[in-house]
Chains A and B, each alone.
Chain A
């Protein structure tokens, strides 16, 4: 029983991180109808930002570990946002009216560029992400350890998601986002600046990836330039599972993938962890390609 509870908590903690990344995929897909393959690598950059900023912040700022942790996360979010917007401006924007396949290949190229550029800049070897806060166990009984760390991950992720919800549904730019994702042309007729909205979506999505990276690295502290590939793919699967383009779907999909993965690791074997997510992807695409919350769009002829 305790063991089951442990898996559930671990699963929610991992799943809420996937959900944060998945939200970025889903928002970008919603607005540009393409999968930003490089999103997982923006996440990786976020982890390295945290790695390099954590010592600087604790040295020059010297606040409480909690305040320091928040600052590290803010730094990762800001730099990832800038990176996301830059990628969009240089690589994707010139291709906006071109065939989707061209954009897809460019996104793959961008993903590889960040991964192997990262190997050059940060070095290919794994690095140890510093502990931002001393983690202590709140509950520690037989077969069950609940650490402050996993609670902080879950709480932070949910706070960010609620913040995102507020931005999307309660602000002017959020309304513009929804209008653009509904119909570019109509939105531009209504005087919405499409380019601004797209940049904003990239900033928002990438900053969530940055935050997710700091959370992820404080749970799995070994970081390297290729670390974004799998969390990126899993989060993408989560987005598809929930119904790509749908914010709630991304959150739910993230949690499901996180839980399933933790259970497979705990009860079957960790080697099947990656394969299970892909199997879920293939199944969902065959059974209900629109995902749990999505609507099916037929091609108009």
Chain B
């Protein structure tokens, strides 16, 4: 294990994010927006990858965590009436983001608990249900704007913040899975019974994956809200969750680099296909089916084998 390399890479990325953010005035707002969305999607997909790819808990509720982070952070910055450019703006925005992440991770804990008993299909549908419940609740809360949405959020998220969090998350996942502690995630994903038999606390790993994944989804939500400045519950429906799942599956579950590449491509692709926008989701869904039939390890995955991922169909002999 190389002692300082990953820290140096993190530092370099933060500096680069800071430096590159000065280029913003030279980029057209349209491209700039795409670049920001890429960053947010990398955070969403990579955090789901932790739950889904590394810990093997198939979750369809990621947009729910995102919504919690988005609304929490927006409520805080709006209540404080933060304005971009003021001295308080940066530390308080950061604080608001962290609160959003924290609240999301509390919900991650709640969702993680069923994952201790449920597997595969059941967990997927339970997490999907969780995401929908969150959405319906927000839709009925008047102080969050209900179905009309939450307006007037200050535009506090910029290139630096988004990519700083991208760098921190990648650093975190990389270090995690390259430690003896972190190998436990893969063991749990591969075989829970064998993991327990060698002293791995399966419950612990599943819960940690959900809490951490939800935390960063919450951060991504906060960043998103403070970039678009207007949010409403329908932006966090389960199609959003599906999109994030597609990124993880296309990139390759459990592949850090693959998921980043997939997040980038799948953010650009719809823009490139703008002329035929109505085909976007059809293409997504076909992509999903074809990849599962032809290359279940994902387009860019392959670093790991997902053979016997979860469990072989017990009916097969």
Interface residues of A (CB under 8 A from B): 32-35, 91, 94-106, 108-113, 115-117, 119-120, 124, 183-185, 233, 236-237, 240, 269, 271-272, 274-275, 277-279, 281-282, 285-286, 289, 299, 301
Q: Which single residue of chain A is at the shortest CB-CB distance from B237?
A: A229
Excluding A105-B288, A275-B133, 11 further A-B contacts by CB distance (< 8 Å) are A95-B293, A97-B313, A98-B296, A104-B124, A105-B249, A106-B292, A115-B281, A274-B136, A275-B132, A286-B117, A289-B122
Partner of A33, one of B125, B313, B317: B313
Partner of B126, one of A105, A109, A285: A285
What are the residues of chain B within 8 A of A281 when measuring CB–CB?
A: 125-126, 129
What are the residues of chain A within 8 A of B125 when measuring CB–CB?
A: 35, 233, 236, 240, 281
User: Which of B121, B285, B306 is the most central at the interface, judged by chain A CB atoms within 10 Å of its CB?
Assistant: B121
CA distance A117 to B278 in the complex (A): 9
Tell whether B230 is near chain A: CB-to-CB under 8 Å.
Answer: no
Q: Which single residue of chain B is at the shortest CB-CB distance from A29?
A: B121
* Nearest Cβ on chain B to A189's Cβ, whole angstroms: 10
Tell whether B75 is near chain A: CB-to-CB under 8 Å.
Answer: no
CA distance A285 to B123 in the complex (A): 9
What are the residues of chain A within 8 A of B313 when measuring CB–CB?
A: 33-34, 96-100, 103
CA distance A184 to B279 in the complex (A): 39
**Contact, CB under 8 Å: A100 / B310:** yes
Interface pairs (5), CB distance under 8 Å: A33-B313, A91-B289, A97-B313, A117-B285, A124-B278
**Contact, CB under 8 Å: B308 / A278:** no
Tell whether B316 is near chain A: CB-to-CB under 8 Å.
Answer: yes
* Nearest Cβ on chain B to A183's Cβ, whole angstroms: 8
Q: Which single residue of chain B is at the shortest CB-CB distance from A36?
A: B121
A282 and B114 in contact, given A98-B296, A289-B122 (Cβ under 8 angstroms): yes
A-B contact count (CB 8 A): 149
Q: Which single residue of chain A is at the shortest CB-CB distance from B139?
A: A271
Interface readout for B212-252 with A: 1 if CB under 8 Å, 0 if not? 00000000000000000000000000000010010001000
CA distance A134 to B90 in the complex (A): 65
**Contact, CB under 8 Å: B292 / A102:** yes
Interface SS of chain A:
helix
* Nearest Cβ on chain A to B132's Cβ, whole angstroms: 5
CA distance A282 to B308 in the complex (A): 27
Tell whether B31 is near chain A: CB-to-CB under 8 Å.
Answer: no
Q: Which single residue of chain B is at the shortest CB-CB distance from A35?
A: B121
A106 and B293 in contact, given A112-B284, A120-B278, A278-B132 (Cβ under 8 angstroms): yes
Q: Which single residue of chain B is at the shortest CB-CB distance from A230?
A: B132
Interface readout for B300-311 with A: 1 if CB under 8 Å, 0 if not? 000000111111
* Nearest Cβ on chain A to B147's Cβ, whole angstroms: 8
CA distance A96 to B314 in the complex (A): 11
Q: For chain B, which range describes its interface: under 10, 10 to 19, 20 to 34, or 35 or more residues?
A: 35 or more
Q: Which single residue of chain A is at the shortest CB-CB distance from B253?
A: A101
**Contact, CB under 8 Å: A285 / B293:** no
**Contact, CB under 8 Å: A110 / B278:** no
* Nearest Cβ on chain B to A115's Cβ, whole angstroms: 7
Q: Which single residue of chain B is at the shortest CB-CB distance from A123?
A: B278
**Contact, CB under 8 Å: A99 / B311:** yes
* Nearest Cβ on chain A to B306's Cβ, whole angstroms: 7
Q: Which single residue of chain A is at the shortest CB-CB distance from B282?
A: A116
CA distance A112 to B241 in the complex (A): 12
Partner of A120, one of B58, B242, B279, B292: B279
CA distance A269 to B281 in the complex (A): 32
CA distance A209 to B284 in the complex (A): 25
* Nearest Cβ on chain A to B117's Cβ, whole angstroms: 6
Partner of A285, one of B117, B245, B278, B306: B117
Partner of A91, one of B60, B133, B139, B293: B293
Q: Which single residue of chain A is at the shortest CB-CB distance from B52?
A: A101
What are the residues of chain B within 8 A of A282 when measuring CB–CB?
A: 114, 126, 129-130, 133
Chain B residues 88 to 116 lying within 8 A of chain A, measured CB to CB, are 113-114
* Nearest Cβ on chain B to A139's Cβ, whole angstroms: 34
Tell whether B120 is near chain A: CB-to-CB under 8 Å.
Answer: yes
CA distance A99 to B311 in the complex (A): 6
**Contact, CB under 8 Å: B306 / A99:** yes
* Nearest Cβ on chain A to B26's Cβ, whole angstroms: 37
**Contact, CB under 8 Å: B120 / A104:** yes
* Nearest Cβ on chain A to B269's Cβ, whole angstroms: 15
Q: Which single residue of chain B is at the shortest CB-CB distance from A180?
A: B315
A101 and B310 in contact, given A35-B121, A282-B114 (Cβ under 8 angstroms): yes
What are the residues of chain B within 8 A of A275 when measuring CB–CB?
A: 132-133, 136-137
**Contact, CB under 8 Å: A285 / B124:** no
CA distance A115 to B312 in the complex (A): 29
What are the residues of chain A within 8 A of B249 when measuring CB–CB?
A: 105
A112 and B288 in contact, given A33-B314, A104-B120, A281-B126 (Cβ under 8 angstroms): yes
